Amino acid sequence: MKVTVSRRAHFNAAHRLYRKDWSYEKNNAIFGKCNNPNYHGHNYDLIASVTGEIDPETGFVIDVKILKDIIKKEVEDAFDHKNLNLDVLEFKDLNPTAENIVVVIHQKIKAKLDSNLDLEVVLYETPRNFVSYKG
């Protein structure tokens, strides 16, 4: 019997969507206002959902405190109040679109989980725009 345990988190970050190898005009045509050279920010919300078998000894799939600590270290401490393009190594050469951000977050959290656990991350860039990734 598999059960899913979820934890919600929040961080604020700035980014700019652009490709270094494209002209300003091409970047502007593709990314519009998100190509602002002075960056722009979002109040991101995420939900990390861990699915697995219930441990018969503890009754947990995962201790929510452990999941909370992983999210704090790997996401909130790493991304909150940062410029994703400039301050976060994973985006040095990766365009910080919502799609790429959710994959990076998934990889960072998944690396800290037991291999028998599945993970889905949902990232809200705005209350109406969100992406999800299950790896």
Burial class (CB in 10 A: 0-12, 13-18, 19+), 67: buried
Task: Look up 53 and say whether it is catalytic.
Answer: no
Task: Look up 34 and say whether it is catalytic.
Answer: yes
pLDDT tens digits, 10-26: 999 999 999 999 999 99
Say which of 34, 76, 99, 120 is annotated catalytic. Answer: 34
Task: Look up 15 and say whether it is catalytic.
Answer: no
pLDDT tens digits, 22-74: 999 999 999 999 999 999 999 999 999 999 999 999 999 999 999 999 999 99
Closest residue by Cα to residue 75 from 41, 101, 52: 101
